[in-house]
Amino acid sequence: MRRSSASLTPSEPRRADERRDNDWAVLRQLLPYLWQWRGRVAIALACLVAAKLANVGVPVLLKHIVDALDLKAGDPRSVLVVPAGLLLAYGLLRLSTTVFTELRELLFAKVAYGTSKQIALQVFEHLHALSLRFHLERQTGGLSRDLERGTRALQSLVSYSLYTIVPTLVEVTLVLGYLGLRFDMGYVWITLGALAVYIVFTVTVTEWRTRYRREMNELENRAHTHAIDALLNYETVKYFNNEAFEARRYEQGLEAFRRAQVKSQGTLSLLNAGQQLIIAASLVAMLWRATSGVVDGRMTLGDLVMVNAFMIQLYIPLNFLGVLYREIKQSLVDLDRMFTLLGREREVADAPDASSLQVAGGTVRFEDVHFAYERGEQHRPILQGVSFEIPAGKTVAVVGPSGAGKSTLARLLYRFYDVAGGRITIDGQDIRAVRQDSLRRAIGIVPQDTVLFNDTVGYNIAYGRPGADAVDVERAARAAHIHDFIAASPKGYETVVGERGLKLSGGEKQRVAIARTLLKNPPVLIFDEATSALDSANERAIQAELRAAAQGRTALVIAHRLSTVVDAHEIVVLEAGRVVERGTHAALLVADGRYARMWRLQQAGQA
């Protein structure tokens, strides 16, 4: 549960320590990604030092220019050659600062963007490797924000740390060393004291503000998630006339986010005001000391100008320290969320010695399979000792009432979940002992609920076998009886189907799903209510095509409508997770059991 910013508890310091430890853990996780670019990083850091050396040299040359101009009339040194040479050197140092800085950024751009790409791709691949359970429980809006923020956070972290903080530390070291050697340690102590106070104040206030920032991000995530959910479920919102309800819910989320933003901005203003007070006090102290030196004759006017230039160069980046610290902390939080996704263990993982599935005939066996979606004795078992075989090249249908566990069989065969007991084999190979990619290449499925990509019809059909040519795509579309519909559209196979395929009817979406499965051409087929959204005429036509597609292949047909499975080689009747009957259509009717009663009820309903 989210803790309110007002409800601080005595354990807050411990949690702050844990967050600091977590920050270091994130940095340790990030280090291997940067280490592979160590050569480029070293060159970039060398350019950084060179740029700062040139930057420190600018006030020194400015001092000499001022001193060179501070001459009495008639002084033979007033020849223009001296200041002209100094001015030229001054310009070259300014140019060198810019050149080395841009060279550093150019060198490091490949590191930042390459690392960001690598981590983002790794997280994306890992999310696809996670189990179906994770994706059923996820919130798409919040997950997309975590990915977006995590990718951006990496670039921000590298940019702020290596482009601002490290250069500032290098410059502070160079400036303090020069002031201490050139004048006295008083300037060093004033600068160090001011920096210490500034950093302590900034870190303390920023840590205090962090909870407001975190609360603001959580509220933004929540509002964004509600908006995404409402847009993804556009039709449901319309069905129940709940546009105003969704708008009010979104407005409530935005209002909470607005209040958190105002609170965060108020604390930021306090931080900025305190920083400027510390900077102003230290500048006055430094310039007072330098002015006194000029009056006493210990320093020249150029020295005063140099000290002032040094202070300006140092404190300009320090003005942003609060913002930098906050952004770095936030970047670490965002990276931690993305690394947490990356570190989430796969519920269904390949065995270390997993081999590729070798399909000879394609015989599928369910052997005493037990399964429940939730673990524990109190959770309802879905399958309880289910055993049956689908011989190679044969079609077996599974029927039964809703909730009997029919679709669960397809998910287990695809290994979206692992069985709790028993085993599933293909040609005698336990599917838990083979690599998942080889298993899924061997299986094609037409699911009950077809979801399409927001792309063209041609893309969605070709998704069954990426790289397939237009001839193969059209052949699959014809086999699924959808080619004529596609050809009649103004854009043909380039017709965009919309978000989740909402521009197509249920039957059209299902025929696209059938077409892409036929294009995949696997040895094992699963039809999970494959014709449930079709009218009777199209259903009969596609049933003929499905029977033709299943010839020579092992096919598992999951059906509620019994008329679609009368030609199956065997029909398995499931009820409450158990096999209660099995046999051919004719044999089951003669047995006059559960199947025969279901058949009579459906026939009476069609009459």
Domain boundaries, the chain: 32-343, 358-442+522-607, 453-521
What is the bridge-based pairing of β-strands 524-528 and 443-446?
A: parallel
CB 422 within 8 A of CB 367: yes
Band (pLDDT 50/70/90 cuts) for residue 376 is low
Stated pTM of the model: 0.59
pLDDT score of 215 more than 90: no
Q: Please give the span between the terminal C-alpha atoms of the chain, in angstroms, as a whole number.
A: 55
Band (pLDDT 50/70/90 cuts) for residue 312 is confident
pLDDT score of 218 more than 90: no
Q: Which range is least confidently modeled, 242-256, 371-385, 536-550?
A: 536-550
Greater confidence (364 vs 41) lies with 364
pLDDT of residue 430: 92
Residue carrying structure tokens 């040139």: 54
How many other CB atoms sit within 10 Å of the CB of residue 369?
Answer: 25
CA 31, 32, 37, 40 torsion: positive or negative? positive
Band (pLDDT 50/70/90 cuts) for residue 366 is very high
Interior CA angle at 337 toward 334 and 338, to 5°? 90
Paired residues of 386 in beta bridges = 369
32-343 and 358-442+522-607 agree in CATH topology: no
Smallest CA-to-CA distance from 173 within 156, 154, 192, 190 is with 192
Cα-to-chain-centroid distance, residue 231: 20
- How far is Cα 110 from Cα 105, in angstroms, rounded to an integer? 9
- How far is Cα 44 from Cα 327, in angstroms, rounded to an integer? 22
pLDDT score of 191 more than 90: no
Name the CATH code of domain 32-343 (choices 1.10.150.110, 1.10.40.60, 1.20.1560.10, 3.30.930.10).
1.20.1560.10
- How far is Cα 607 from Cα 593, in angstroms, rounded to an integer? 21
Contacts of 541 (CB under 8 A, 6+ apart): 481
Highest mean pLDDT (candidates 54-63, 69-78, 108-117, 581-590): 581-590
Look at residue 375 and give its three-state secondary structure. Answer: coil
Secondary structure letter of residue 177 according to DSSP: H
- How far is Cα 164 from Cα 159, in angstroms, rounded to an integer? 7
Cα-to-chain-centroid distance, residue 285: 49
Smallest CA-to-CA distance from 371 within 405, 401, 403 is with 405
- How far is Cα 395 from Cα 388, in angstroms, rounded to an integer? 12
Burial label for 72, CB within 10 Å (0-12, 13-18, 19+), is: exposed
Highest mean pLDDT (candidates 41-50, 101-110, 165-174, 444-453): 444-453
CA dihedral 108, 110, 116, 119 (to 10 degrees): -120
Mean pLDDT computed over 114-129: 73
Q: Could you confirm whether domain 358-442+522-607 is CATH 3.40.50.300?
A: yes
Q: Which range is least confidently modeled, 126-140, 212-226, 288-302, 517-531?
A: 126-140
pLDDT score of 571 more than 90: yes
Q: Say which CATH topology domain 453-521 has.
A: Rossmann fold (3.40.50)
Fill in the amino acid letter for 239. Y
